[in-house]
């Protein structure tokens, strides 16, 4: 069936800006909601106009990477040696292609490198390879450091890096907006019924040099023609659960998206994991889950925009 005769479907979109332990300040909540909704409005208008799921995902990730409020791109946290190293990946559910960069430095939008690698025979590159690719593509050198992230690192260095995780959201005017699992992600269903997903992160902050997050692995970012999932939280927990791939494979094996999410998050909760995820399936079902207290996510269900910022802490999985 060609795209000219294919039945059009209602596009759907869900994004996240990380997960954490508390979101107490109303001022902080409003600011985060505004940031997420701005991205939803921009990207959803693209989908309605006929953009592909992959195009929409890249655009959404770019916008979130450019917002210093989130730990990806500009505003990324520093590793223990004071350097910023970012990771990002992209997966097209129609082609089944996964691509990404791991621990790349001095670029503004790591997701753009993941996009280029979609058409490459070598689709995941680590730090040195990513640096060479950036030079090959003539990507301008970019300093993603913000004053707040530098201040955080200096304070942690003075405390001998005893804190285990950097804040997911940079919110200096609301100090009670805490903690700590930094990633951004976008999942889109386009008018042709195609799915795509992208995830990007600055890491967990103050980590050992060379540590690899889940964001550029199928554990944290995965899509097929049946479903697509982007994860956030403690990367090691997400990898241990192989969360994104597990959920997507379960949907491909015949589970509903809600059932696959519920089973996967019930297992993660029993294993005392700290994580969250957003998901879409090919029918347009939207789902999200968390074992952490807060999931910073927003979505467009085809009629209106909603979010998870005040979602009941007692629930593992929600669906729209």
Active site members: 183
Work out whether the CA dihedral 215, 219, 223, 227 comes out positive or negative. Answer: negative
Residues in the chain: 320
The b-or-e profile of 204-217 (16+ CB within 10 A means b, else e) is bbbbeeebbbbbbb
Buried b (16+ CB within 10 A) or exposed e, 66-83: bbbbbbbbbbbbbbeeee
SS3 assignment, position 214: coil
Which ranges of the chain would DSSP assign to H, the alpha helix? 26-48, 53-65, 110-117, 127-136, 147-158, 235-241, 243-252, 257-270
- CB neighbour class for 126 (10 Å; exposed up to 12, middle 13-18, buried from 19): middle
Place of tokens 């390879």: 129
Neighbours of 254 (CB within 10 A): 9
Rounded to an integer, what distance in angstroms lies between the CA atom of residue 199 and that of residue 58?
A: 9
DSSP bridge pairs for 23: 177
């Amino acid at each position: 069936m060609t795209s000219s005769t294919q039945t059009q479907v209602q596009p759907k979109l869900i994004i996240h800006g990380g997960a954490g332990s508390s979101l107490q300040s109303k001022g902080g909540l409003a600011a985060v909601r505004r940031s997420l909704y701005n991205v939803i409005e921009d990207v959803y208008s693209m989908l309605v106009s006929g953009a592909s799921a992959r195009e929409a995902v890249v655009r959404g990730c770019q916008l979130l990477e450019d917002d210093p409020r989130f730990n990806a791109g500009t505003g990324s946290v520093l590793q223990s040696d004071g350097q910023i190293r970012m990771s990002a990946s992209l997966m097209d559910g129609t082609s089944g292609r996964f691509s990404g960069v791991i621990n790349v430095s001095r670029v503004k939008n790591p997701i753009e490198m993941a996009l280029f690698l979609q058409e490459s025979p070598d689709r995941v590159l680590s730090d040195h390879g990513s640096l060479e690719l950036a030079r090959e593509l003539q990507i301008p050198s970019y300093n993603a450091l913000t004053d707040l992230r530098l201040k955080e690192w200096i304070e942690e260095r003075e405390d001998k890096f005893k804190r285990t995780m950097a804040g997911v959201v940079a919110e200096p005017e609301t100090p009670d907006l805490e903690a700590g699992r930094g990633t951004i992600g976008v999942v889109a269903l386009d008018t042709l019924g195609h799915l795509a997903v992208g995830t990007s992160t600055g890491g967990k902050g103050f980590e050992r040099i060379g540590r690899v997050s889940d964001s550029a692995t199928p554990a944290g970012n995965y899509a097929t023609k049946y479903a697509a999932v982007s994860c956030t939280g403690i990367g090691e927990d997400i990898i241990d659960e192989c969360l994104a791939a597990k959920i997507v494979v379960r949907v491909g094996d015949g589970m509903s998206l809600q059932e696959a999410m519920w089973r996967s998050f019930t297992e993660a909760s029993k294993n005392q994991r700290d994580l969250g995820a957003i998901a879409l399936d090919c029918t347009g079902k939207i789902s999200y889950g968390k074992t952490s207290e807060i999931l910073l996510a927003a979505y467009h269900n085809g009629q209106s925009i909603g979010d998870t910022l005040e979602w009941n802490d007692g629930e593992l999985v929600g669906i729209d």
